[in-house]
Structure 1
Amino acid sequence: MLKSIFNFFLYTSVYISVCALLMIWQTNQILALHYPQQTFYLFVFFSTICSYNFHWYLTPGAFSQSDRLQWCERHRNLMLVLCGTGLAGALYYFWQLREHWLVLSGGAILTFLYSAPKVPHKTFTWLRKIAVGKTLFLTSVWTYVTTLLPALMANQVFSWPLLFLGLHRFFLIYAICILFDYRDVESDRKEGIRSLITWLDLSSLNKIYYFSLLIAAVTAGLLGPYSTLPVIFTLMAPVVFTAGLTDMAQRRPSDYLYYFGLDGLMAFSALLHMAVSVLFKS
């Protein structure tokens, strides 16, 4: 029963939606942003539920050995219901935030571009031929929604902390996405989707991977003058953990390791940041 509950929480994308909210919370704290945060949290939550269930609904799983894809194959009707529920909730809260329609629409377009190659229509299948597109789309949408979009909602167009936090998030997520590309190489080739791992040899891919982690660490350090030392340590933590899990992720591509562990590392610093905030307040 506990495993079934955990699988439901993980595979319905509730987990990844909560990760997005934690990352936005951390952005609000680091940049000291003021805007309708509660409404925005709900908009992002429902949007993430909609987009991820749409993506996984389009992903074939009948002949896959992946636990997640097999679960999705057995619960396709549920995924459609969640997609529709997420869309309804996203539209409701979008209307409440309609004065920010332009910047919110940018996130919606990026999100759709990630799943668009899976739509079985020639209008979209050409996107499968774009080299490294999958990785860049996913990294860009996560960075935009969790970092840049909250700042734009608060009318903060540019600041050095925003730049450094955005770069830190981008390169950390990019490194994590490279691990996903490494794991999904065979399925991507079968679907005709090009990614870094189908385009580069392993040596070149590893150079980009570790360079991305290095930039993530450096930009976290550059936030030092604008934040506290404990917060900087929380930003460094997922970089270190991601590097430490590299060998295991490449050798043992477990769905739990990827969709719980690696996905969770995107929000790990936010969770630590929250714990530090509680400790210092007490």
Structure 2
Amino acid sequence: MRSVFNFFLFTSLFIALCALLMIWQTNQLLHLDYPHCTFYLFVFFSTICSYNFHWYLTPGTYSSSERLQWGERHRTMMLVFCGIGLAGALFYFWQLREHWMALSGGAFLTFLYSAPKVPHKTFTWLRKIAIGKTLFLTAVWTYVTTLLPALVANLGFSWALLFFTVHRFLLIYAICILFDYRDLESDKKEGIRSLITYLDLKNLNRLYYLTLLLSAVAAGLLGPETTIPVIATLMAPVVITALLTRKAQHNPSDYLFYFVLDGLMALSALLHLLIYWAQA
């Protein structure tokens, strides 16, 4: 069972499904009308491609990380998944080609996150950009799961879109801060700068908790646009992330980070889906 779970988690199937849940929630909250299934499949294959590409470039030799050790043993598998993901992403990109500019923006942001790991001087300079790693990852997740569906659906500005985007961006940013804190030593070895390189723990915690607070405020501002139970689902991951902070700062477990914390990004969407099914 552990091998099956590791396969599901470390091939990035789990995080790809989280992305689909988050997009489903965006569709529901903003009442978006566009070819949902085609877009879901485009994002699913793109996520599989980008994450396996990222982890293939991440060295696992001499690391105690279970994920990196798993990747070191299954490098060929990661390349296969990357290839399958790329083929699927291109196929569904063609079906959504009228939105090529918006889709290309997501692809560019995704590449920026992994680019510093590419062993070529053209890209390694990105390692020196302050706080780039955190912002790139937060931006791409927010863009692909929130703004991109709205752009594909040709939705104009709305307060619901603004508040929901801010809520999701800040929640993901807070979670990324925990990842950066855990990865401090490995990032230093690779020459990759992140926010915590410049902030001590006290100021980092201030920024972290302020980010969570503002995420909760943005969720509350969605009150006139949706129901109280849905607002509660948005608040749930904010509260749980705050409660898990100390544990995350002292426990570098891959399962805590890549299953629990990554899963918190999609928790509100899962709870929202359960409410939707209960009302159906």
Give me the TM-score of the superposition, normalised by structure 2: 0.99
Identify the residue that residue 148 of structure 1 maps to in structure 2. Answer: 147
Gaps of 5+ in 2: none
SS of the residue corresponding to residue 139 of structure 1 reads helix
Unaligned runs of 5+ in 1: none
Counterpart-to-counterpart distance in 2, 1:126 and 1:51: 20
**TM-fit CA distance, 1:279:** 1.4
- The equivalent residue for 2:192 is 193
Q: Counterpart in 2 of 1:160? A: 159
Match in the other structure for 2:135: 136
Q: Work out the number of aligned pairs and report it.
A: 280
Instruction: Note the C-alpha offset of 1:154.
Output: 0.5
RMSD of equivalent CA atoms: 0.5
Q: State the AA in 1 paired with 2:145.
A: T
Q: Tell whether 2:25 aligns with 1:22.
A: no
Cα distance in structure 1, aligned partners of 2:50 and 2:168: 20
- Structure 2 CA distance for aligned equivalents of residues 33 and 106 of structure 1: 20
Q: Which whole-Å CA distance do the structure 2 matches of 1:100 and 1:195 have between them?
A: 32
Q: Which residue does the alignment assign to 2:90?
A: 91
Q: In structure 2, how many angstroms separate the alpha carbons of the residues matched to 1:159 and 1:63?
A: 50
CA separation in 2, counterparts of 1:196 and 1:60?
Answer: 22
Residue 48 of structure 2 aligns to which amino acid in structure 1? I
The structural deviation recorded for 1:157 is 2.8
After superposition, residues 12-161 of structure 1 pair within 5 angstroms as: 12-161=11-160
Using the TM superposition, give the Cα deviation of residue 280 of structure 1 relative to its aligned residue in structure 2, in angstroms.
Answer: 1.9
- In the alignment, the residues of structure 1 paired with residue 187 and residue 156 of structure 2 have an alpha-carbon distance, to the nearest angstrom, of 37
Partner amino acid, structure 1, of 2:247? M
Of all paired residues, the percent bearing the same amino acid is 75
**C-alpha separation in 2, matches of 1:200 and 1:245:** 21
Moved over 4 A (4+): none
Secondary structure of 2:154's match? Answer: coil
| Residue of structure 1 in register with 2:213 after alignment | 214
Residues 155-164 or 12-21, more deviating:
155-164
- CA positional deviation for 1:40: 0.2
Letter of the aligned partner of 1:199 in structure 2?
Answer: Y
Structure 2 SS opposite 1:234? helix
Aligned to 1:180: 179
Distance 1:142 1:158 in 2: 20
Q: Say yes or no: does 1:264 pair with 2:263.
A: yes
- Secondary structure of the 1:33 match is coil
Q: Measure how far apart 1:158 and its partner are.
A: 1.1
Displacement of 1:199 in angstroms is 1.8
Distance 2:156 2:78 in 1: 36
